[in-house]
Amino acid sequence: MPYEFYKVLHLLAILVLFTAMGGLAMVTLRGGSEQEMKAARKPLMILHGVALLVIFVAGFGLMAKLGMMKSGWPTWIFGKLAVWLVLGGAMALLKRPMGVAWYLLLPLVGAVGAWLAVYKPF
């Protein structure tokens, strides 16, 4: 697959990831019975997990296309993996009413990931 394919796939999955996190934040804010919330959360959690997997696979595809798999990984890749882990655990925080404050901080985490990808500082 060409480099551009992996890049578009990576970006699409990031958009889906943030959509799922926003959806869960809204479900949590709306409230309702536990059964209603569980029914609304399940598809969002699945969407979040699939998006994380696609981000991971497409990210490694991008690394392979850039020739990074043969040599040692640059330090900024480990920063991107840390961002991926934080965003992966974010759904557990967003399921709680107090976790909605994370909804305001998570775009900043995403911005750190974007900064690392664009500037490749180290």
Rounded Cα distance between 54 and 102, Å, is: 23
In Å, how far are 31, 54, 66, 67 from 71, measured between CA atoms?
49, 23, 11, 7
pLDDT given at position 64: 93
Q: What span, in angstroms and rounded, lies between the C-alpha atoms of 42 and 112?
A: 28
- Domain containing 95: what range? 3-119
pLDDT, tens digit (0-9, with 9 covering 90-100), for 19-69: 999 888 888 888 778 888 889 889 999 999 999 999 999 999 999 999 988
- Does the structure show a pLDDT above 80 at 13? yes
Query: Model-level pTM greater than 0.85?
Result: yes
Judged against a pLDDT cut of 80, whether residue 101 lies above it is answered with no
Query: How many structural domains are present in the chain?
Result: 1
Half-sphere exposure of 116 (CA within 13 A, CB side): 19
